[in-house]
A and B are shown apart, each in its own frame.
Chain A
């Protein structure tokens, strides 16, 4: 009985620690001045959310959360920050308009009010938790759900990945076509980057056939 009480207490303490870490890192990821610090805090937050998945008895999700979120998505955003030298200036967050802040606070207050109603006044909170199977059967059961019963979702994921790849290639080709537009005489400041802001000073013109020929002439 003492061991059970200790176990429950330990579980609650662990929940509080992980919750404070996750919420603190999420707040820091949004509010810190330097953008490079903010994306690293987001990466750590994604790894801390995996702690929640350990509490919730979902072992495969721990692995996929750390691998895809911290190792993939966080690296994606860090790479994007590295590609944009102007985004690393810390002066972008000083002047925030108060109307937007009020709108944002109103929106999140509405979301949290709805969630408080859902969390506390709905009969969900009366249920007791069922414990999932043990570690090996958990992964077997998950794989069986995915491939024996609902195999369409895996194909849907493949299609979504294909869409992401084709879309990003199309966007990069379009960015290159914008670089090759003839520049007008309007001068903009020369950044330290070589050729990434070449297309920003031009007036909007429709894409001519010459650019298509140049883009496709590899």
Chain B
């Protein structure tokens, strides 16, 4: 069988990739995609844990259903906020905003 640590490695690599994307990228859409990748990693970890227990319950799978639904609502609101940001500043590039503010120039 496939040991649990393999599933956890893949799940946490996805979480790390999502975190890196959310911190590093300038495009707001990529930040939202990074959040989604992290959510997928979390789901994989949850379902993997639900298999490797002593007694099988459906807690892991049901929790993943709930997390997927909550992520859908979260992405909807995040995209709406991004559209509002674009309507206000006519860009989705965070670098342009930082340059315009001038406060945190790197």
Chain A interface residues (CB < 8 Å from chain B): 8, 11-12, 15, 19, 22-23, 26-27, 29-30, 35, 38-39, 42, 45-46, 49, 52-53, 55-58, 60-61, 64-65, 68-69, 72-73, 76-77, 79-81, 83-84, 86-87, 92-93, 95-97, 99-101, 103-105, 107-109, 111-112, 114-116, 118-120, 124-125, 127-133, 141-142, 144-146, 150, 153, 156-157, 160-161, 163-164, 167-168, 171-172, 174-175, 178-179, 188, 191, 196-197, 199-200
A22 CA / B29 CA spacing, docked (Å): 19
Instruction: Say whether A130 contacts B4, CB under 8 Å.
Output: no
Instruction: Say whether A80 contacts B64, CB under 8 Å.
Output: no
Question: Which positions 28-80 of chain B face chain A at CB distance < 8 Å?
Answer: 28-30, 32-34, 36-37, 40, 43-44, 47-59, 61-62, 64-66, 68-77, 79-80
In the bound complex, residues from chain B placing their C-beta under 8 Å from that of A99 are: 106
Closest to B9 in A: A119
A31 to B: closest C-beta gap in Å: 9
The A/B interface has a contact count, at CB < 8 Å, of 267
Instruction: Say whether A22 contacts B10, CB under 8 Å.
Output: yes
Instruction: Say whether A200 contacts B80, CB under 8 Å.
Output: no
Band of interface residues on B:
35 or more
Q: Which listed residue, A93, A107, A108, A156, touches B27 by the CB 8 Å rule? A: A93
Instruction: Say whether A23 contacts B14, CB under 8 Å.
Output: yes
Instruction: Say whether B23 contacts A11, CB under 8 Å.
Output: no
Instruction: Say whether B69 contacts A127, CB under 8 Å.
Output: no
Instruction: Say whether A76 contacts B83, CB under 8 Å.
Output: no
Given contacts A39-B29, A84-B92, A200-B87, 19 further A-B contacts (CB under 8 A): A26-B18, A42-B37, A52-B10, A52-B44, A64-B68, A68-B68, A69-B68, A73-B71, A79-B79, A80-B83, A93-B30, A103-B23, A111-B19, A115-B16, A124-B52, A127-B53, A129-B4, A199-B87, A200-B90
A6 CA / B75 CA spacing, docked (Å): 42
Q: Which listed residue, A76, A86, A130, touches B79 by the CB 8 Å rule? A: A76
Would you list the 3 A-B pairs with minimal beta carbon distance, nearest first? A115-B12, A104-B24, A164-B73
Q: Which listed residue, B6, B10, B57, B64, touches A23 by the CB 8 Å rule? A: B10
Would you mind naming 30 contact pairs between A and B with Cβ atoms under 8 Å apart? A22-B14, A39-B33, A55-B2, A58-B61, A60-B61, A73-B72, A77-B32, A80-B83, A83-B83, A84-B29, A86-B86, A86-B91, A92-B95, A93-B27, A93-B30, A104-B19, A104-B21, A108-B19, A112-B12, A114-B12, A119-B5, A119-B12, A125-B4, A145-B57, A163-B73, A171-B83, A175-B83, A175-B84, A179-B87, A196-B86
B96 to A: closest C-beta gap in Å: 9
